[in-house]
Structure 1
Amino acid sequence: MASRLAACEACRKAKLACDHQQPVCSRCRNGKFVCIYRTTPFKRKRIEKPSNLSSPDPSPSFTPRRNPYPNPGYLGSSSHAAIFKHITTDGDQSAGAQTGGSEALSPQWVGDNHLVLQGADVLRHLLTTYPLSAMKELVMFWLAKGANLALAEPFVAQCAESVSQLFAVNDENWHLMYARRLLHNSAQPLQFHQSMNLSEFSMQFMDHNCRWETIGIFFAAVSRATIDISFFPLLYTVAEDQYNLRRLTTKLSDFALEISLSLDCLNDLQLIAQYENFIVHSYVDGDQSYHSWRKLGDVISSTFAMGYHENLEAKPGIPRFLMELRKSAFARIYSADKNIAIFLGRPPRMNKRFCHFQIPSCQMAPSSHSHTTTGTTASYNRNNNDHSWDLDSKPGYRADSRWSALCAFLKEEIWELLQDKQDAACLQRASAIQHKAEEQWLALPANLRLGGSLKHCTRTPFDRDFLAHARLQHLHVLFLLRLLLLNTMTEPDIPIIETAGQMLALVVECILLRDQLTNSGTGLIWKVAYYGLPAAGIILLALLKQHTHTTQNIARTKILQDLSVFVAEVQIGTIVRPGDPNYALLSKATQTIQRFLDSFHSDSGQAPTDPGSHEEGAGNDDWAALLSQDLWDFEAGFWQSLADHPALLAVDPPLPRV
């Protein structure tokens, strides 16, 4: 007698016949339904309280990975594989290039039991606290405003649609059932071939093929949306509920990523989820957080392990859309490495000497505010200075990735020059970098350059934010170059003061127009901390010196106005509030700026102090010795030292040291 077979949940709820195929029945495969089979379909719920001897429904058969041969990922020219491949017969050649280096794992090898159970528990807690349909609506509303995840952009809307249709089972152990299905799907390799398109590729991880990476991308988008949208009645109306949702979705994104990484199956979707998870933590934990720093290191490790630091054009059988996606990943991770390293004053971890520098084409992948990818792919490496742009390029995340990487390339050269500052050829090398920077800016299409004040720009919120950030990136390169050439930071010269004034003015415009901007790749807090604080610091140093030859060409009224707005916006909590990750840094800086403004206004009716007097000179000398000698340090230590300037000590007691 044939054993009785249970229908999947989709067929059972529709009261239609199911052919019981595993893991997906024919009806669900054809209709793109999510096919889930209950763990104990014929077990009736007992009304009476179970005895101590009875056992709960069994958990999914997760078995910790026991594979003694881990996936090695990319192996370079110095590895044993490079030697042995020359003596391998043609018949033994692997087709790994067609699967992105991933191999399917047998069922007994998949997952980490502890991680999966934790992920399933967080999933159940989140979905019983907040309605999934409302979270989907939040993401779609966020996308409609023009925002998106920078690297996962082509997949976010599909991920939201797939996940919102995924969880429909009311079984007691539904979270474990879905965890098993997600785990099974995540262990499958992502196949591709030369003629494959984006839609065919994404079908491998959408709908009934939904993976933990898909879950991670969706909830990363939910977390990011809670940052940009302060009021969404379906989910939150007060800051506490908004924070709780952000915390839970970030936690689930973390578990989704860790589960997929535990499978030891490197693939493109996993790297995308990993990058977006790092970006989420930069918002949630702050850019100074060690947790964010470690997350970035993990993303860089995966980039090298997948071989994306090598010439991607030389790898056969890769469809064009995937090639562009991989180049975008390299560009964004490379530029993030340089920018975070400079912000924290730490060594970068992706050295261009060991990378084939490559950037995506000018246009973006299809999205809500972009056009189909066209144009010739441009490469820019140490032997090739081709950084041409399509004349019809439009602002978008792909263009932002491209421009940020080009600027990061020059920042790395400046960083290297800082290590060789005593070199006799330093000035000549610095001049060459400045020439490259100006050449890059002029090569940028006029459509992507901010020509005047941001408030006079009448374009879309996304475009305005893009133009402002592109200009800030260029000014920052020039700023770092001028900072490098200073003999001491306490003696800023006119070129760096003028550059700092332009940076500060543009950051202040971004603050004032924040409601008319849509995140095009960097948030407002990053613009304030990364560009605004160093600019304000240099300007204060120049004004405190009160030397005629360094201040006569500065528009002092405009500078003081910008500093006042900068301080006021931070102090009233419009851009950062107590408890936010970067609050300590910004509040300390603005306290010091406020003390300077108070000092300036109190002395405005008096003759300026003679900087050559013995007492003033001695005080400045003592203070200069306290100022950090690290020319790249504009974090809390710099502002604490600046607060000890003799001109500010008379206004208020010094800030308490932490």
Structure 2
Amino acid sequence: MLLRSPNPNSAGLLRLCRLQARGQTTCSQRDTWDRPVLFLFGEGDGANELVPTADESTAASSVPAWWVKRATEVVGHLVEFPTLKQLILEFYGVSQAAVIAAPFVLNALSQMQDTYHAYQLDQGETEIPALVATVLDNTRRKFSVPPTVDGAHFHRLYAGSCLRLEILGVVYALAGRASQFGLGRPKNKLLSSHFARRMLAASDTALQTCRYLSPVNDLTLWVLHENLLLSTLVLSHSSSVTWHRLGELATCIFELGLHRDPDERTDLPDFLLESRRRLLAAVYQLDKSIATFLGRPPRISWRHSGCRLPLDISDEALTGSRELAQRSVTAEGWSCHAVYQRSAWIRLRFLISTFREEILELSLTKISENRDEQLRDVSRRSRQAWDLVPSHLHYTEDCWNTHQPISVKVMLIVSYLAFLYNEFLVQRLLALNSTEYSAALVDVSSTILSTVLTFGRQQEWVVDIHRDFIWTLLLYGFSSASVLLKALQMHASTNQLPSLYPRGILVRHLSVFISHLESMAGPGTANNAFFSRATRVFSRIMDEILAPEAVTATETPAVDSVADLDVSLFSDFEGVGLLDTMDFASVLDQVCISDSYLGRMQVSLLAFSNYLAIPM
């Protein structure tokens, strides 16, 4: 059945018929639709109208003019489809961190290309009104997934003649992120930034319109997730918009019940259940990362969830046989083969985040008498869980000598750093009421800094991992180096450090760290004042440690100790807010690093949001 809008454009209908002739399915008619009762506030007439009830007309003409205008804005961006397609194809070609399975997006792109040509969008916008009418009709229908549909044909429910606003929002957000990673044609930083902001605005508008037209569904979660990730790049993780978008995503996850596996009687297809598990695990990890960064309670608690981990299977397995996929994994859900695929990183990052949740709870709640014991228990169980992870997912320095893609190597090292940072947080909390740092804290800090510097020695600049190195240096290097400097200060008189690492090695690592800071402080670089000040502060402390007699009493010290770095270092940094954390490098861990494995990410850590002075 061909969907028609009132007074349809005949040319548009003919082109839709061509789509059907190519074997593309049309949307099934449904008698009723569940509609949320929402008030959305905006400018202009019709912005605050109540969502239509189920017995009202489903024709596009019944949609208030405000929302028709917004939908037209969203659909209008399809004139840029060649650029959108190129960006997303390149993104999925190299990404190890994408959450939505590739076939669900790439198959939809293929049908969007047919729509692009059918409506002659390559020749202008004259046919957009006809396409808008069809898209509005589709989006107003409740998105239901028949139990008989398979993953290979899932995209036909939201693309082609069933094209919906949700998938447009997903495509725009993905393209915006890809442009920030330096993919596609825009190589100019300003052009890339402008494009990403336009895609964020288009994705926002698509999301708002979908929330007005249709109940929350799986596609809503997709666009919320991708929109959130793009928001972190464009607006930063500290943005109020980002924080509220995370809350909206968590709420919708609970609304659809993704936090609990359905019973055996469910009629949801297996591929959709598996896709939901991937999304929940990814959002759970993102939630803990942002909670760590902002020092706020997490939104999603695992203690209130009962969903199984996603299987360590390929994206393509979601479009194939369930039995074949089940035979390819162990009883624990890991792949039977030592392969690197997106689901493996989702599982690994999720497992690391479960311990981060416990650490957050212990750090954000009132201190109990047995907190130290609880922290040590978290540390013990975290190491045990890491040991059970398949060995090929464990980072070793030897990985740099393999022929694995650079994106895999970056995922290995940042996952390892995230695991180490959990231990760092535990040991730092244990040391809060102590006058000295423990050997465990010094050792984990030494390991973190050594790992970061190993990353910096790599010379595979073809895909520009230099920017990923800057990320790890700032996110992990600052906190670990601060602890090591303070420890060296504490034991300057005895030269006896509570560490497995010799003092000379620590001094050498800190010197290399300072040299990296100095290299970022060159003239013309963004925030060079910040990096210059950071270099002076760390260098001054190192001088006091190595040759205290050379520092004259008449000189005014930059800082008295590493403890003073929290506020003073960031006074010159563009976009800084007051950091109130136990270390001034409050860490927004692996999520952003993993997504920036091409190294083109705009840093959004509160104090580092604009530091890169390189084309994006």
- After TM superposition, the score normalised by the length of structure 2 is 0.75
Amino acid at match of 1:362: D
CA contact (8 A) 2:179 2:186 kept: no
Q: Does 1:276 align with 2:223?
A: no
Matched AA of 1:596: F
Tell me, yes or no, if structure 1 residue 403 matches structure 2 residue 403.
Answer: no
Q: Which runs of 5+ in 2 are unaligned?
A: 1-6, 27-45, 569-578, 588-606, 608-616
Counterpart residue number, 2:206: 256
Higher helix proportion? 2
Which stretch shows the higher mean deviation, 283-292 or 191-200?
191-200
- Alpha-carbon distance between aligned partners in 1 of 2:508 and 2:339, rounded to the nearest angstrom: 32
For 2:259, the equivalent position in structure 1 comes to: 309
**1:9 is the counterpart of 2:25:** no
Distance in 1 between residues matched to 2:359 and 2:488, nearest whole Å? 26
Per-residue CA distance 1:232-252 (angstroms, 9 max, x = gap):
5xx434222222222222221
2:213 maps to a residue whose letter is L
Distance in 2 (alpha carbons) for counterparts of 1:403 and 1:541: 32
Aligned to 1:374: 325
Change in Cα spacing, 1:549 to 1:187, as seen in structure 2 (3 Å) is farther
Counterpart check, 1:474 vs 2:419: yes
Q: Quick one: structure 1 residues 226 and 425, their matched pair in 2 at CA, closer, same or farther if it must change by over 3 Å?
A: same
The residue identity in structure 2 corresponding to 1:120 is: T
Secondary structure, counterpart of 1:224 in structure 2? helix
CA–CA distance in structure 2, aligned partners of residues 573 and 328 of structure 1: 44
Aligned mates of 2:193, 2:580 — CA distance in 1: 38
Task: Say whether 1:487 aligns with 2:432.
Answer: yes
Aligned AA (2:326): G
For residues 619 and 247 of structure 1, the distance between their equivalents in structure 2, rounded to whole angstroms, comes to: 42
Change (3 A) 1:119 1:322: same
SS in 1 for 2:267: coil
Inter-CA distance 268–240: structure 2 relative to 1 (3 Å threshold)? same
In structure 1, the partner of 2:38 is none
Identity %: 18
| Candidates 263, 267, 276, aligned match of 1:326 | 276
Q: Counterpart amino acid of 1:595?
A: V
Q: Which has the larger radius of gyration?
A: 1
Shift of 1:446: 1.0
Q: Which residue of 2 aligns with 1:30?
A: 21
Deviation at 1:378?
9.9
Distance in 1, Cα, partners of 2:63 & 2:339: 42
Selected match of 2:107 from 133, 155, 158: 158
1:288 aligns with 2:288: no
SS at match of 1:550: coil
The one-letter code of the counterpart of 1:214 is: I
Note the C-alpha offset of 1:527: 4.3
Larger displacement relative to structure 2 (192-201 or 276-285): 192-201
Aligned length: 538
**1:544 Cα deviation (Å)?**
4.0
Selected match of 2:312 from 362, 372, 376: 362
Q: How does 1:138-287 map to 2 (within 5 A)?
A: 138-146=87-95, 149-167=98-116, 168-169=120-121, 173-229=126-182, 232=184, 235-287=185-237
Q: Is the 8 A contact 1:327 1:359 kept in 2?
A: yes
Rounded Cα–Cα distance in structure 2 between residues aligned with 1:473 and 1:324: 25
Pick the aligned partner of 1:120 from 69, 72, 97. Answer: 72
Q: TM-score, normalised by structure 1?
A: 0.70
Mapped to 2, the partners of 1:445 and 1:503 lie a distance apart of 21
Amino acid at match of 1:199: A
Q: Give the Cα–Cα distance (whole angstroms) in 1 for the partners of residues 287 and 63 of structure 2.
A: 30
Is residue 2:357 matched to residue 1:412?
Answer: yes
Corresponding position: 1:550 with 2:497: yes
Change (3 A) 1:6 1:117: closer
Q: CA deviation at 1:439?
A: 1.4
What residue is the counterpart of 2:576 in the other structure?
none
Q: Higher relative contact order at CA 8 Å, sep ≥6: structure 1 or structure 2?
A: 2
C-alpha change, 1:529 and 1:226, in structure 2 (3 Å) is same
Give 1:597 deviation, angstroms.
1.9
Distance 1:10 1:622 in 2: 69
**2: CA distance between counterparts of 1:296 and 1:184?**
29
Quickly say closer, same or farther: Cα 1:343–1:327, change in 2 above 3 A: same
1:395/1:463 contact within 8 Å kept = yes
2:107 counterpart letter in structure 1: Q
Tell me the SS of whatever aligns to 1:150.
coil
- Residue of structure 1 in register with 2:610 after alignment: none
- Cα pair distance change 1:624/1:462, threshold 3 Å: closer
Q: Aligned partner of 1:248: which letter?
A: R
Structure 2 residue aligned with 1:448: 393
- Evaluate the alpha carbon distance shift between residue 461 and residue 394 of structure 1 in structure 2; reply closer, same or farther with a 3 A threshold: same
Could you tell me which residue of structure 1 aligns to residue 33 of structure 2?
none
